[in-house]
Amino acid sequence: MNKSESSPDEDNNSDKSIDSDKVSEGVFEELSEESTVPLSQYEKSKDDYLRLAADFENYKKRTDKEKENIGAASVAYFINSLFPLIDNFEMAMSQESVAKEVETFNNLLSSVLDSLNVEEVGAVGDNFDPTFHEAVEHSGEGDTQKIEVVLRKGYLFQGNLIRPAMVKVKSE
């Protein structure tokens, strides 16, 4: 066959492609008319989306904070379990003759507490503060209350009191 001669099937195919283009344009116009959403419904959907996104961000922040709090509580619980050991080393170190091994273990325990950012509370001569100190004895009269003797050290972890210091208070 020549190029100038065409078969009837080819003519029908070219007509069909033209017709399908016209049909697809008509369908597109109908779809675009159907998909137009009133402005109020669009604003409501947008508002719902923004609220959902904000809720999700708040959820992520809250879970991250809860994870941090759980970690801090776990460390505080661990430190609480060490208090009898700490108290026994304090008593051992207050003896006249202390074995070198006991000093080594006490220094090791102190370095562990320092690495966990645990701070001691209550030193002789400090002002008495009932939020950090537990007074078991009070002597003297006056307005200023000072710590006279520390019977048991108190500890802070991340700014939170995990054990108050047991002290004798003297008023001046």
Q: What's the mean pLDDT when you consider all of the chain?
A: 83
Count of other CB atoms within 10 angstroms of residue 86: 21
Which positions ≥6 away from 129 have C-beta within 8 Å? none
Helix (H) or strand (E) holding 169: strand 165-171
Which tens digit of pLDDT belongs to each residue from 134-147? 999 888 888 888 99
List, for residues 68-92, the tens digit of each pLDDT value.
999 888 999 999 999 999 999 989 9
pTM reported for the whole predicted model: 0.62
Task: Look at residue 156 in the predicted model and tell me its pLDDT.
Answer: 93
Q: Angle 100-115/39-93 helices, nearest 10 degrees?
A: 170
pLDDT of residue 30: 54
Q: What share of the chain is helix, strand, coil (3-state, %, to 5)?
A: 60, 20, 20
Nearest partner of 106 among 129, 133, 82, 75, judged by Cα? 82
pLDDT greater than 70 at residue 12:
no
Residue type, 14: S
Query: What confidence score (pLDDT) does residue 7 get?
Result: 52
